[in-house]
Amino acid sequence: MGMTMTQKILAAHAGLDYVSEGQLISAKLDLVLGNDITTPVAVNEFEKAGFDKVFNKDSIAIVLDHFVPNKDIKAAEQSKTCRQFANCQCISHFYDVGKMGIEHALLPEQGVVTAGDCVIGADSHTCTYGALGAFSTGVGSTDMAAGMATGMAWFKVPSAIRFNLTGKLPYNCSGKDVILSIIGNIGVDGALYKSMEFSGDGVQNLSIDDRLCICNMAIEAGAKNGIFPVDEITQAYMTNRCERKPVVFEADKDAKYDKVYEIDLSKIKPTVSCPHLPENTRNAEELHDIKIDQVVIGSCTNGRMEDMEAAYKILNGKTVAQNARCIIIPATMQIYRDCIERGYVTAFIDAGAVVSTPTCGPCLGGYMGILAAGERCVSTTNRNFVGRMGHTESEVYLSSPFTAAASALTGFITEYKEVQ
C-alpha cells in the first residue's frame, strides 16, 4: 500500500522508508512557531524543564500578533516575556511591532516555510502551510517547548481524506467559500485527526491565497492538517522567496484514503457559516433578512492581498451602510503597505471603514472590534463559537471577503452580485 503526501513527509522526517496510519513516530522539525499568547507558556515550560538553549535559533519563529500593539498590561507583560526570550536565544525569526504580521500570513510571505517542511506551531491554525506542500499542524505550548529544546516532536501518523477538485470558482466566490462548503458537508468532526488532501484539475484554478485559506480552516473540520500538491503556481510563489530549498512530495497512486469527495468548484455558491459552529452553513442568498452591526475583513484566514483586492473592488466609491461598522485588517505590514500604495486604504476610509495595523484582534475576542450583547458581525475569520468575538449573546457569521464587503454596504447579509 502506498503513502499519502502527508505520510511521505512524516516518513522522511522520521528517517523511515514507510509509515502507516496510526503509527507513532518521532520526527525532526524544520520550524517551531509560537505567538504572544502561547510562547510565554512555552518559555515557562522550557525553563522549568531545565533547558537553557534552543536547538536551532534559525528554526524557531515567534510572532507577536494576537494582542499587539498591546491592548492592556497583561498583553504587554506577555510580549515582554517573548522579547526577552527571543533576545536571550538570538531567535532569527522574531517579529515585533513594525515588522510583525498575523503569523500564518507572515511566515509564507517571508519565505520561512516551504514545501516538504515539517512544522509545529502553538496555534491551531498552523495547518495553513499545507498550501505550500508542507506538513504543518497545531500543538500545545508544552509541545512547543519540547520542540524548541530538541527539534523533535512525536506524531501519530494520520489517515487521509481526499478532496478531488474540478472546475473553476464563480467570480463572487473564493477559497473561503470552498472550505465553508466542505465543512458544512462533512461537519466539524468530519476529518477528525485526518489529513485533508486536495487534488484534481481544479487545483490549478485556485491561487496561493485561496489554498492558504482552505488549509487554514482544515482544523475547523477536526483535521490534523490540510495539504495541496506542489504545482507550477506553488513553485512560482516560492521562487526567490523561501529560505530553504523546497522538497516536493507526491502521494503514491495507490495511497489509501478513508473517503474521496468530488467537488466541482463551478457549483460553489457564496457561503455563510451561521452561529455557533462553522458547520452551520447556508447560502448567502438565503440570509438576506439578517441585519448586521459589524463587518470584519482580515485574519490569518482572509487578510491577504487578494482579500484586500476583493474588499476594494466592492467598497471603492461606495459607503458603508448607516449603523454598520466595517473593520479592515491587512494581515502583514507588507500587505498594509501595498494597500496604501495602491490607494486601497484611502478608498476604505472614504467608504467609512477603519483600517487597522495587522493583528488577530477581534477574531478571538481580544480587541479592535468586540461585540456587545445582541450584536451581529459578518466576519472573514475562522470561528464563530459562542462568545468568540465578544459577548456570549452576540453572533458571528463567517464568510468570504466578497460577501463581507457586500454586506457592509447593505447592513444585511448580502452576496456580492446583489450590490453591483
User: Residue 401's domain is classified under what CATH number?
Assistant: 3.30.499.10
Q: What is the DSSP letter of 53?
A: S
Residue from 79, 26, 91, 83 nearest 54 by CA: 91
Q: Spell 60-89 as b/e; 16+ CB within 10 A means b.
A: bbbbbbbbbbbeeeebeebbebbbebbeeb
Average pLDDT over residues 363-379: 94
Judgement on whether residues 226 and 294 belong to the same structural domain of the protein = no
pLDDT higher than threshold 80 for residue 358 = yes
Q: Confirm if 49 and 58 have CB atoms less than 8 A apart.
A: no
**Angle at which helices 344-351 and 305-315 pack, to 10 degrees?**
50
Q: How confident is the model at residue 347 (pLDDT cuts 50, 70, 90)?
A: very high
∠59-219-2 over CA atoms, to 5°? 80
pLDDT of amino acid 418 = 54
pLDDT of amino acid 277 = 95
Average pLDDT over residues 192-211: 97
Tell me the helix, strand and coil percentages in the chain, rounded to 5.
40, 20, 40
Q: How confident is the model at residue 1 (pLDDT cuts 50, 70, 90)?
A: confident
Distance of alpha carbon 183 from its chain centroid, rounded? 15
Give the separation between CA 226 and CA 214, rounded to whole angstroms.
Answer: 8
Average pLDDT over residues 120-137: 97
**Residue 124: Cβ within 10 Å count:** 17
Q: Confirm if 39 and 66 have CB atoms less than 8 A apart.
A: no
Backbone angles phi, psi at 271, to 5 degrees: -120, 140
Overall domain count for the chain: 2
Q: Which residues pair with 25 in a beta bridge?
A: 155
Q: Which residue has the cell 502553538?
A: 122
Judgement on whether residues 334 and 257 belong to the same structural domain of the protein = no
Take residue 175 and report the three cell numbers written for it. 477559497
Residue from 266, 276, 307, 306 nearest 181 by CA: 266
Judgement on whether residues 54 and 193 belong to the same structural domain of the protein = yes
Q: What is the rounded average pLDDT for all residues in the chain? A: 96
User: What is the extent of the structural domain holding 26?
Assistant: 5-264
Contacts of 73 (CB under 8 A, 6+ apart): none
Strand-pair category, 281-283 with 271-273: antiparallel
Q: Is 373 exposed, middle or buried (0-12, 13-18, 19+ CB in 10 A)?
A: exposed
Residue type, 259: K
Q: Confirm if 165 and 177 have CB atoms less than 8 A apart.
A: no
What does the longest C-alpha to C-alpha distance in the chain come to? 61
Question: Which among 214, 234, 264 is the end of a domain?
Answer: 264
Judgement on whether residues 219 and 328 belong to the same structural domain of the protein = no
Take residue 188 and report the three cell numbers written for it. 466539524
Question: Which among 219, 238, 264 is the end of a domain?
Answer: 264
Contacts of 72 (CB under 8 A, 6+ apart): none
Q: Which residue has the cell 472614504?
A: 350
Judgement on whether residues 236 and 281 belong to the same structural domain of the protein = no
Take residue 133 and report the three cell numbers written for it. 506542500
Q: How confident is the model at residue 417 (pLDDT cuts 50, 70, 90)?
A: confident
Residues in the chain: 420
Judgement on whether residues 48 and 130 belong to the same structural domain of the protein = yes
Q: Confirm if 157 and 122 have CB atoms less than 8 A apart.
A: no
Percent of the chain at pLDDT > 70 equals: 99
Question: Which among 236, 264, 292 is the end of a domain?
Answer: 264
Give the separation between CA 94 and CA 58, rounded to whole angstroms.
Answer: 10
Judgement on whether residues 260 and 212 belong to the same structural domain of the protein = yes
Q: Confirm if 158 and 194 have CB atoms less than 8 A apart.
A: yes
Containing H/E element for 160?
Answer: strand 159-166
Average pLDDT over residues 9-29: 97
Judgement on whether residues 277 and 241 belong to the same structural domain of the protein = no
Task: Please give the span between the terminal C-alpha atoms of the chain, in angstroms, as a whole number.
Answer: 52
Judgement on whether residues 125 and 10 belong to the same structural domain of the protein = yes
Mapping DSSP onto H, E and C, the string for 273-339 reads: ECCCCCCCEEEHHHCCCCECCEEEECHHHHCCHHHHHHHHHHHCCCCCCCCCEEEECCCEHHHHHHH
Q: Confirm if 258 and 161 have CB atoms less than 8 A apart.
A: yes
pLDDT higher than threshold 50 for residue 419 = no
Judgement on whether residues 138 and 277 belong to the same structural domain of the protein = no
Judgement on whether residues 237 and 300 belong to the same structural domain of the protein = no
- pLDDT digits over 238-275, tens only? 999 999 999 999 999 999 999 999 999 999 999 999 99
Give the separation between CA 69 and CA 96, rounded to whole angstroms.
Answer: 9
Give the separation between CA 94 and CA 116, rounded to whole angstroms.
Answer: 22
Q: Confirm if 96 and 62 have CB atoms less than 8 A apart.
A: no
Judgement on whether residues 285 and 248 belong to the same structural domain of the protein = no
